[in-house]
């Protein structure tokens, strides 16, 4: 439905959105609800052969991997778009990778700081209860499964699912719509209301970068570096808080310099006349509506845990 592409029927678009909604429902159940249920019910399970799954992070990672790879791979296969376009290699210099990371980290960290301050003000806390998340549960910091998941596995799977498959599937109906819709779903998938605002804007940045480079490889690197930096800052803040402050200050100054000197490539995506109609069609699709209800319901459920 993008003016630059061949027009498709409304019935075809609804069918595509219906399929995407089914994929997101499976993803939501596996990644958010099943781990939550298992964590609560595990003490009631007393089967010796299940002892190897005693780690909640291990169980969450299994659900994350299965719940991401299977449904999104099926969507990739059944889609008539060439999903592999977003998995191409792209030549980017080390300096450009560094610039992307510095600005992305600055924007993400700043948004996280603001939302966490607001959360504390209204007495709302956020913690990592699944493998998707940017806030932390301190009891998991020494869990090797958590460290590997947070720094490596989650960024790769998120970029594959939300930018490699979902963004590509939605792009043929308008790039502006695809960026907004995929970023909205990405934000809701983070579970905690505390994380949704920064996740949405981080999703916008990552989606635009993928469209700019036509590859998820650069955003995987950005995402891994971002999560690794957050983790290192959290670990260091207990004993080396001064160094953390200095590092953040340096990053802040560098980000401002890069933005002021236009070394960072801003990506603008024009809004077409069909974006509003496609957006309404997307939000009125039954499976998409049910997906949104599941995501929001999970976020509300966290308040009672």
* pLDDT for the residue numbered 3: 42
Structure tokens at 147: 């460290």
| 8 Å CB contact between 172 and 181 | no
A 10 A CB-CB count for 229 gives: 18
pLDDT of residue 39: 75
Give residue 85's Cα distance to chain centre: 20
Query: Angle between the 217-237 and 94-121 helix axes, to the nearest 10 degrees?
Result: 50
C-alpha to C-alpha distance for 268 and 201, rounded to whole angstroms = 14
Whole-number Å distance between alpha carbons of 25 and 115: 27
Q: How far is CA 63 from CA 132, 266, 276, 305, in A?
A: 11, 36, 35, 20
Q: Are 175 and 218 in contact (CB under 8 A)?
A: no
Sign of CA dihedral 126, 132, 134, 140: positive
The per-residue pLDDT for 293 is 95
DSSP codes, 123-171 = T------SSS-SS--GGGTT-HHHHHIIIIIHHHHHIIIIIIIIHHHHH
CA distances from 8 to 60, 170, 270 (A): 39, 13, 20
State the CB neighbour count (10 A cutoff) for residue 93.
Answer: 8
SS3 304: coil
What pLDDT shows up at residue 278? 92
pTM over 0.85: yes
Tell me, what's the pLDDT at 135? 52
Distance of CA 91 to the CA centre of its chain: 24
- Counting every residue written for the chain, the total comes to 305
pLDDT at 275: 79
Q: Which residues of the chain have pLDDT under 70?
A: 1-8, 43-53, 80-89, 120, 122-141, 237-238, 305
State whether the Cα torsion 270-219-17-28 is positive or negative.
negative
Q: Three-state SS for 294?
A: helix
Tell me, what DSSP letter sits at residue 51?
G
* 25 contacts 294 by C-beta, under 8 angstroms: yes
What phi and psi, each to the nearest 5 degrees, are found at residue 88?
-70, 155
């Amino acid at each position: 439905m993008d003016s630059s592409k061949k027009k498709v029927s409304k019935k075809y678009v609804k069918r595509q959105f219906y399929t995407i909604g089914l994929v997101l429902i499976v993803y939501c159940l596996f990644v958010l609800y099943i781990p939550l249920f298992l964590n609560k019910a595990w003490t009631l399970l007393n089967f010796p052969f299940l002892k190897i799954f005693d780690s909640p992070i291990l169980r969450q990672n299994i659900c994350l991997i299965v719940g991401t790879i299977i449904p999104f791979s099926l969507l990739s296969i059944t889609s008539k778009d060439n999903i592999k376009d977003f998995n191409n290699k792209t030549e980017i210099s080390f300096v450009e990778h560094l610039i992307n990371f510095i600005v992305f980290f600055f924007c993400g960290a700043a948004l996280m700081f603001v939302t966490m301050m607001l959360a504390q003000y209204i007495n709302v806390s956020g913690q990592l209860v699944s493998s998707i998340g940017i806030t932390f549960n301190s009891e998991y910091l020494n869990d090797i499964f958590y460290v590997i998941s947070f720094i490596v596995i989650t960024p790769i799977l998120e970029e594959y699912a939300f930018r490699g498959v979902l963004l590509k599937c939605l792009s043929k109906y308008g790039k502006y719509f695809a960026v907004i819709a995929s970023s909205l779903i990405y934000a809701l998938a983070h579970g905690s209301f505390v994380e949704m605002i920064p996740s949405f804007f981080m999703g916008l940045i990552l989606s635009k970068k993928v469209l700019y480079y036509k590859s998820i490889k650069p955003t995987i690197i950005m995402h891994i570096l971002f999560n690794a930096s957050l983790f290192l800052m959290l670990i260091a803040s207990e004993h080396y808080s001064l160094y953390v402050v200095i590092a953040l200050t340096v990053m802040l100054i560098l980000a401002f310099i890069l933005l002021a000197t236009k070394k960072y490539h801003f990506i603008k995506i024009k809004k077409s006349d069909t974006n509003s109609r496609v957006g309404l069609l997307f939000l009125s699709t039954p499976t998409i509506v049910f997906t949104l209800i599941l995501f929001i319901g999970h976020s509300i459920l966290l308040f009672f845990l």
